[in-house]
Amino acid sequence: MSGTRLNKYIASSGLCSRRKADELIENGQVMVNGKKVTELGYLVQEKDKVFVDKKLIHPVRHEYYRFYKPAGYITTADDEKGRKTIYDLLPESMYHLKPVGRLDKDSTGLLILTNDGELINALTHPSVKVPKVYLVTIGGMIHKHELEQLANGIEIEAGKIAYADITVLEQDNEHTTMEITLFQGMNRQIRKMFEHVGYEVKTLKRTRHATLDLAGLKRGEFKPIKPKQIKELKNFLNRISKNA
């Protein structure tokens, strides 16, 4: 019998990931054509009507963009303090898209914007070590033993150990520029790590997230991600999730 698995149908609406959809189904929060469905393998047919918590849902066309965030903007849709957000730089037709992860106000670089809840979950779930690459400059010349500290892990908050792969690109007595790869998603992780060893981050730019980078983008600019790139990204995520 043909059809779309119920969890995939729910995820394709942008409501949540497939894993979360399974929870909704098991918890009895999903109805098809007025009847509660708790079977995870249920196949949705073309004319079926699916409700989650009594709200009718529809599959949506997934959209994917790369965005080069400039400094001075926060990564959120609304801000109670009235600060500028990345949505001030985007057309209204993109307001429904969500950023994958965050960059703080002073940081710049790559943000992936999408309405694909399943992809967002795959890129941010803590069980999957998705690489994010940053170009970072700090004040002062960092020492070898401090780099080893950062690589081995630093407790930046109670019970939270942060680590990073670091390659020094350039340094003198006044600054050190590095390429840093993170496999975690802690809030202000890089800034807190360097603060712990006594350095201030002067500039921080995300240059790559998984298989995507900033190629061809200027600050404040956004471009659609090509279908081939999305396929490569999802294949990459599938490979690393199997090793998680």
pLDDT of 243 > 80? The answer is no
Pick the CATH number of 64-126+211-242 from 3.30.70.580, 3.40.50.1820, 3.40.1190.20, 2.40.128.20: 3.30.70.580
Q: Where are the domains of the chain?
A: 4-57, 64-126+211-242, 132-209
Residue 1: its pLDDT value, please?
Answer: 58
Residue 244: its pLDDT value, please?
Answer: 62
Active site includes 48?
no
Distance, in Å, from the CA atom of 76 to the CA atom of 52, rounded to the nearest integer, reads: 26
- What is the DSSP-derived secondary structure letter of residue 142? P
CA atoms within 13 A on the CB side of 143: 4
Contact 85, 74 (CB under 8 A): yes
Query: One fold for both 64-126+211-242 and 132-209?
Result: yes
Rg (CA), the chain: 21
Residue 137: its pLDDT value, please?
Answer: 98
To 10 degrees, what angle do helices 117-124 and 227-242 make? 50
Q: Between residues 31 and 244, which one has the greater pLDDT?
A: 31
Instruction: Out of 22, 48, 104, 213, pick the active-site residue.
Output: 104
| Structure confidence by residue, pLDDT tens digits, 49-97 | 999 999 999 888 899 999 999 999 999 887 778 889 999 999 999 999 9
Q: Between residues 205 and 117, which one has the greater pLDDT?
A: 205
* pLDDT grade for 191, boundaries at 50, 70 and 90: very high
Return the CATH fold of 4-57: 3.10.290
Average pLDDT over residues 157-165: 91
| Structure confidence by residue, pLDDT tens digits, 109-138 | 999 999 888 899 899 988 889 999 999 999
Average pLDDT, the chain: 93
To 10 degrees, what angle do helices 18-26 and 117-124 make? 110
| Structure confidence by residue, pLDDT tens digits, 140-151 | 999 999 999 999
* pLDDT grade for 214, boundaries at 50, 70 and 90: very high
Architecture category of domain 132-209 in CATH:
2-Layer Sandwich (3.30)
What tokens were used for 204?
Answer: 């921080």
Distance, in Å, from the CA atom of 145 to the CA atom of 168, rounded to the nearest integer, reads: 13
| Structure confidence by residue, pLDDT tens digits, 175-184 | 999 999 999 9
